[in-house]
Homo-oligomer: A and B are copies of this chain.
Amino acid sequence: MADLVTLGEAMLRLSPPCFQRLEQANSFDVTVGGSEMNIAVAAERMGLSSAFVTAVPDGPLGRMIVNKTREHGVDTSFIITKKNTRAGVYYLEFGAKPRASLVVYDRADSAIAATGPGELPWAAAFAEARHFHTGGITPGLSDRAAQVTMEGLRAAKAAGLSTSFDLNFRARLWTEEQSQKVIEPMCPFIDVLITTEEDTSRVFKIKGKDYEDVARQLVAKFGFKVVAITLRENPRVWLNDWSAMALAGGKVYQAAKYEVEIVDRVGAGDSFSAGFLVGYLESGDLQKAVDFGTALSALKHSIPGDLNWSTRSEVEKLISGGGGLRISR
């Protein structure tokens, strides 16, 4: 009965505290995250009923992944448990200029990577649902996961749902060529493409004179109804400018630009997707969608962990300009 259904992998995230490098760690902070889990959680928190579809191993780590999703009210009843698989892990090291933050993936043979077509409960998940979201990480996990991603997109369209896809190219999973070969056939089943200029260039080999041009080429080539592009300027690791735009029906919708002090930028793109979908599915108004997504994701930069623990009223206050940086007391 969720409005939004997402498919993807959630992993344990292990990060040394206080800017330690992985090699010098004596402890790891433990959280759970993954692009489409992050989106389901953020959307649910914003008021859009959401479900997350994935596979987890049995045992405590699989339960932890379900728990952390369910904690925010996301429907986890479509998550399957696969015995004799493992929980994907990603190690995250926080940087400071000139040392960029670093991710080490240890996600091969995870439960979702081992899942093949026919195993996930698409019919149940899509019953009464409105929208399906997934992205370019899952098909990069394994051939089986790529087939499952395509299966999900086809099933969503067959069930009458609208769909979105975040390109999310991950060089540590596969090559640009592999990703292009796998993702291009998915495009006919995608209504809303969410991406960055860099990912578009790497996966689709599309470059443009500016963001709008890139978006127009994407629409022209693949026929997406909407293309949304997030824009990050990062002169420092701890201070970025962040914005986004969308193109739909030939028209450009530009969000405000936010200067963000960065506690943890992982999941910021996912927060944009979540916020964009919340705005889009609630109002159909692209300007509202891009505004909501940009504000929600600007806030994400201030929150540790993959998940966005903002509230709807905080996002609305930021959009309305009513925030300010004084302590609220």
Residues of A within 8 A of B (CB): 14, 17-31, 59-61, 63-64, 67-68, 70-73, 76, 86-87, 89-91, 93, 95-106, 108-109, 170-172, 198, 234-238, 258-266, 298-299, 301-305, 307, 309-310, 314, 318, 323-329
A213 to B24 alpha-carbon distance, docked (Å):
41
Q: Are B19 and A263 in contact (CB under 8 A)?
A: yes
* Max chain B Cβ within 10 angstroms of own Cβ: one of A71, A171, A172, A259: A71
A96 to B67 alpha-carbon distance, docked (Å):
24
- Among B25, B100, B299, which residue has its beta carbon within 8 angstroms of that of A325? B100
Set of chain B residues within 8 Å of A20, measured between Cβ atoms: 303-304
Q: Are B261 and A329 in contact (CB under 8 A)?
A: no
Set of chain B residues within 8 Å of A99, measured between Cβ atoms: 299, 302-303, 310, 314
A98-B236 contact in complex given A23-B63, A61-B22, A64-B22, C-beta closer than 8 Å? no
Distance to closest chain B CB from A197 (angstroms): 12
Distance to closest chain B CB from A297 (angstroms): 11
Given contacts A23-B64, A98-B260, 14 further A-B contacts (CB under 8 A): A19-B302, A24-B303, A24-B307, A59-B104, A60-B93, A89-B89, A89-B106, A96-B263, A100-B327, A101-B327, A103-B327, A103-B328, A234-B326, A266-B327
